[in-house]
Amino acid sequence: MNNRSRLTAFVKQRAAGLGFSFCGISKARRLEEEAPRLEKWLSQNYHGKMAYMENHFEKRLDPRLLVDDAKSVISLLVNYFPGTHTQYSSPLKVSKYALGDDYHHVIKEMLFNLAAGLKEEAGDINFRVFTDSAPVLDRAWAVNSGLGWIGKNSMMISRKHGSYFFIAEIITDLELEYDDPFGGNYCGDCSRCMDACPTGAIVAPRTLDASKCISYLTIELKDSIPQEFKGKTDNWIFGCDVCQDVCPWNKFSIKHSITPFEPSGKWTEWSREIWENIEEKEFKAVFGKSALKRAGFKKLKESIVFQMNTNSADEQNDTGKS
């Protein structure tokens, strides 16, 4: 076994031991095929008010601009599916990925452990770790490393266990053996995700108008949620799982084994009234380690009020009809 083969085997074995679900490796290069797609998406303003998406265009396409002399992109998937018998019973909904501790911190620790082990094996290498926190086209690299394909909802789907995964990378100047890109697309004629999206955000296969996405409206959008979405947010107050919940490939999802991703407290059973009356001090105490802090208290409160007002209007309409 040559050194590249040995180090590649080490990476994949160590990744599995640390709790990563899948690992694939691709050659660092400019993603020429993604350039026109990204440019068109931005030109159509599908990124909404996420102005940061317009920055670092070339860095998003070429990891060699992020890590000097980069040779390899190690793509890693971390399962966050809570299981089919999840304990979440609150009528106001939070995305599955946010039930436990903030994945940024959990996965970065896993990444640094993997990189540290690789450095011990390979010697003095240059690397950076990424998990949804830098201009990296995570899904494109996952496809390039053979881990799955991009579904019509724009999510990366694994044939083995669906799409409830976080994607992370280690970009390094170490040369490794590369996996073949994933070939084909297994969505077929299915359009369940497109049909089910409450706000019509999936405007074409693999094309998401993020400005209409409930996740964008309840997390990324700093302004108030536009009134045009009243009655369409489907009780979601942080994120949305609809397009994944209806995906047939997610029948193969299995419960994660990452302890910090377990639901972090009784808030998963809160009534509408408890959500409506939450104060900032309680928010910080309950969600201090949660991804919900990304939206912040003010934004979460606004999403709760928006949803409560929608529900009140619906109840009045129902009363009027009777």
pLDDT tens-digit map of 207-217: 999 999 999 99
Q: How many helices (H) and strands (E) does the chain have?
A: 11, 10
CB 40, CB 34: distance < 8 Å:
no
Task: Convert the pLDDT of each residue in 47-74 to its tens digit.
Answer: 999 999 999 999 999 999 999 999 999 9
pLDDT of residue 268: 95
Residue with tokens 């290498």: 125
Contacts of 230 (CB under 8 A, 6+ apart): 306, 309, 310, 313
How far is Cα 316 from Cα 322, in angstroms, rounded to an integer?
10
Q: What's the mean pLDDT in 258-286?
A: 95
Q: Are residues 112 and 221 in the same domain?
A: no
Q: Are residues 109 and 254 in the same domain?
A: no
CB 298, CB 219: distance < 8 Å:
no
Sign for the pseudo-dihedral over CA of 182, 166, 161, 175:
positive
pTM: predicted TM-score of the whole model, two decimal places: 0.94
Total number of domains in the chain: 2
Evaluate if residue 88 carries a pLDDT over 70.
yes
Contacts of 24 (CB under 8 A, 6+ apart): 74, 75, 142, 144, 145, 146, 147, 179
Q: At 86, is the pLDDT very low, low, confident or very high (cuts 50, 70, 90)? A: confident
CB 196, CB 159: distance < 8 Å:
no
Q: Are residues 198 and 235 in the same domain?
A: yes
Task: Convert the pLDDT of each residue in 11-53 to its tens digit.
Answer: 999 999 999 999 999 999 999 999 999 999 999 999 999 999 9
Evaluate if residue 312 carries a pLDDT over 80.
no
Instruction: Please give the positions annotated as active site.
Output: 132
Evaluate if residue 320 carries a pLDDT over 90.
no
Evaluate if residue 226 carries a pLDDT over 80.
yes
pLDDT of residue 87: 77
Residue 182 belongs to some domain of the structure:
no
Evaluate if residue 311 carries a pLDDT over 90.
no
Residue 69 belongs to some domain of the structure:
yes
Residue 252 sits in which domain range? Answer: 192-321
Q: Are residues 236 and 154 in the same domain?
A: no
Q: Are residues 160 and 285 in the same domain?
A: no
Q: Are residues 163 and 299 in the same domain?
A: no
Which CATH number does the domain housing residue 65 bear? Answer: 3.40.109
How far is Cα 132 from Cα 168, in angstroms, rounded to an integer?
7
